Amino acid sequence: QVQVEESGGGLVQAGDSLRLSCTASGRTFVSYAMGWFRQAPGKEREFVAAISWSGAGTLYADSVKGRFTISRDNGNSMVYLKMNSLKSEDTAVYYCAQYNGTLYYPLDGIDYWGQGTQVTVSS
């Protein structure tokens, strides 16, 4: 059974940094691309960032490009989202997701989701 679990959310001030972590178990971690999505109150879930199986390929939403960095540690089956220069509009529940293959296309090609972790940015 595949399990995806996020951690690291919290309440921060605008301009602060935060790092989210995600672990996935139940199948060979290195064989799958990973991604982060978020859902703000009253809005649909949206793509934030994704990383290929090897870490060589990454993709970011325009709204976070230059501020967020996705990375992975295949030896420990972990994926991270480092968020810098946080803004109030980054407030959302952040979800970690495992794709159905080694690459992150299509962007909604998700097999498994985590439960989500709340990030709240106060201005």
Q: What pLDDT score was predicted for residue 68?
A: 98
Residue 90 has a pLDDT of 98
Q: What is the pLDDT of residue 41?
A: 92
pLDDT attached to residue 11: 98
| Single-letter residue type at 60 | Y
Instruction: State mean pLDDT over 70-81.
Output: 98
Single-letter amino acid, residue 40:
A
pLDDT tens for 25-72 read: 999 999 999 999 999 999 999 999 999 999 999 999 999 999 999 999
> Which H or E run contains 18?
strand 18-25
pLDDT at residue 4, rounded to an integer: 98
Percent of the chain with pLDDT over 90: 99
Residue with tokens 């976070």: 64
Three-state DSSP at 93 gives strand
CA dihedral of residues 58, 76, 98, 12 (deg, nearest 10)? -70
